[in-house]
Amino acid sequence: MSKDKNPRRVADNEARAKLRMLRTSPQKLNLVAALIRGKKVEQALTDLTFSKKRISDDVKKCLQSAIANAENNHNLDVDELVVAEAYCGKNLIMKRGRPRARGRFGKIIKPFSEITIVVRQVEEQS
């Protein structure tokens, strides 16, 4: 007797990828996620390639992983993929400090975040 197969967390025409422990704040990461949300994957990859944001390389890597998941694991057509969802959230926060004047302590927080990208296959309308 074996266990039942886990149900899919996304629809049959979708694939997703998640990247954790990105060394940036979720607010800055959300700016890059908003840049690609709702676009075709070719256009999104181009936008991330030429973006000046430091974190855009890691977001591009996550998008390429979602595309590879769609192609290899779910047999979706790469030319018809659209970035359906791109959302980010908080992760670990490293707390550091620095001594300040009059015996005080300056708090330094170093936030980490995570991003989830869902790509969906849509039929091209002619």
Give 23-35 pLDDT, tens digit per residue. 999 999 999 999 9
Q: Give yes or no for residue 37 having a pLDDT over 60.
A: yes
Give 50-83 pLDDT, tens digit per residue. 999 999 999 999 999 999 999 999 999 999 999 9
* Residue 35 belongs to some domain of the structure: yes
* Residue 5 belongs to some domain of the structure: no
- Provide the domain limits for residue 86: 14-121
* Residue 4 belongs to some domain of the structure: no
Q: 58: domain CATH number?
A: 3.90.470.10
* Residue 1 belongs to some domain of the structure: no
Predicted confidence at residue 50, as pLDDT, reads 98
Predicted confidence at residue 3, as pLDDT, reads 87
* Residue 3 belongs to some domain of the structure: no
Structural domain tally of the chain?
1
Output the CA–CA distances (angstroms, integers) from residue 105 to 24, 40, 93, 96, 97, in the order listed.
23, 48, 18, 10, 7
